[in-house]
């Protein structure tokens, strides 16, 4: 494929050189199913890979290739279909829609690309249905499945796919990307540092005026703890308020997006079904952001304890600080199970030692 077309497809997608190289090669020798693994950039990369597939499968060049690339990147190509779970998990009804879509012939291309998000949030009853169609799709269908990680329940599905790993974005790449989009360097550095290598989160945090204050709040929690229930309850309430701050930024963006769609519906350029899907997608984004914010905050608390270990006096003090780090790591891991957040934080804060001494 022409290098200029490849550059056009990946323009504006920073870093991830290994994944890009794998996908460029994969487009030349396409297989039936791919699984993109990672917490950031996979959706954007899926549509860019779809562009690679369409250009290669249809042997496109010049203006026609550019037109198809533009349609794919705008998520408007007739033969690039994206599926998001209608609810909080991928259900049997979702799998049935995916199966039905895979059985139809492409409208204008040699290949049809089906992008399925949230595969790691799949209900047990849907696993077998999705597995069967991914294992033996029609020759004209290419599956791109998106998941944060390969949990035990999706091992069988993942084993039928070529897996592409999207590592967290390098901080330097995020800063460079944010600055190129008009963010000042200081804000870009803080957003990149706090994002955990997640490009979508970095972009959102770069627009959040409360980011620095919120980071300082999390870092100070070990100095506020004293073993008292009233203090723990107050801190949990303050955590909720801090999460609400960043959710306000996201919800403002979502409101604008929904308003634009409503205008398109009035002009009969979109449907109410698209509106329902957008609302469901927004709810999942809110839930995901809450989890990201908690993980980020717990990491900042852990950093405070790690710093304290270097100045700890006595073996017992050091052991307490190491135990605190272990408790935070366990709490962070448990977030994947969607626990009661308030109870998780209360339990954790009671276990953590105070640094106010």
**pLDDT tens across the length of the chain (357 residues):** 788 899 899 998 888 889 999 999 999 988 999 999 998 889 999 999 999 999 999 888 898 999 999 999 988 899 999 988 766 688 898 899 999 999 898 998 899 999 999 898 888 899 999 999 998 888 999 999 999 888 888 899 999 999 999 988 889 989 999 999 999 999 999 999 999 898 889 998 999 999 999 999 999 999 999 989 999 999 999 999 999 988 998 999 999 999 999 999 999 888 888 888 788 888 888 888 898 899 999 999 999 998 888 876 556 578 888 899 999 999 988 887 778 899 999 999 999 999 986
The answer to whether the CB of 174 falls within 8 A of the CB of 199 is yes
Q: How far is it, in rounded angstroms, from Cα 90 to Cα 122?
A: 4
| Sign of the CA dihedral with 9 first, then 56, 43, and 97 last | positive
CATH of domain 3-165: 3.40.50.300
Report pTM. Answer: 0.76
3-state class percentages of the chain: helix first, strand second, coil last, to nearest 5: 65, 10, 30
Q: Which two tokens stand for residue 4?
A: 């200029």
Edge-first strand order for the sheet with 112-116 is 80-83, 112-116, 141-147, 33-37, 162-165
């Amino acid at each position: 494929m022409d290098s200029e077309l490849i550059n056009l497809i990946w323009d504006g997608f920073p870093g991830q050189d290994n994944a890009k190289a794998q996908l460029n090669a994969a487009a030349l020798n396409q297989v039936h199913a791919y699984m993109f693994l990672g917490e950031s950039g996979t959706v954007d990369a899926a549509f860019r890979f779809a562009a690679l597939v369409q250009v290669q499968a249809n042997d496109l060049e010049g203006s026609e290739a550019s037109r198809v690339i533009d349609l794919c990147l705008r998520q408007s190509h007739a033969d690039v279909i994206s599926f998001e779970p209608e609810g909080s998990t991928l259900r049997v009804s979702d799998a049935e829609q995916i199966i039905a879509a895979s059985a139809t012939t492409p409208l204008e291309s040699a290949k049809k690309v089906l992008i399925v998000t949230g595969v790691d949030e799949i209900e047990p009853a849907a696993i077998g249905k999705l597995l069967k169609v991914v294992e033996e799709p029609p020759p004209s269908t290419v599956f791109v499945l998106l998941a944060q990680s390969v949990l035990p329940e999706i091992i069988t599905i993942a084993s039928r796919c070529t897996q592409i790993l999207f590592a967290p974005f390098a901080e330097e790449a995020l800063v460079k990307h944010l600055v190129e989009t008009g963010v000042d360097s200081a804000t870009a550095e803080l957003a990149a540092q706090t994002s955990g290598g997640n490009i979508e989160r970095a972009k959102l945090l770069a627009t959040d005026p409360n980011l620095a204050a919120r980071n300082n709040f999390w870092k100070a929690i070990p100095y506020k703890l004293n073993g008292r229930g009233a203090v723990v309850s107050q801190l949990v309430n303050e955590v909720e308020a801090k999460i609400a701050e960043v959710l306000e930024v996201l919800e403002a963006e979502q409101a604008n997006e929904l308003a634009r769609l409503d205008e398109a519906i009035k002009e009969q350029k979109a449907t109410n079904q698209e509106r329902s899907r957008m609302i469901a997608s927004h709810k999942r984004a809110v839930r995901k952001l809450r989890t990201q914010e908690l993980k980020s905050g717990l990491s900042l608390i852990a950093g405070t304890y790690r710093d304290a270990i270097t100045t700890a006096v006595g073996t017992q003090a050091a052991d307490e600080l190491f135990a605190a780090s272990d408790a935070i790591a366990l709490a962070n891991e448990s977030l994947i199970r969607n626990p009661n957040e308030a109870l998780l934080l209360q339990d954790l804060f009671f276990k953590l030692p105070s640094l106010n001494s």
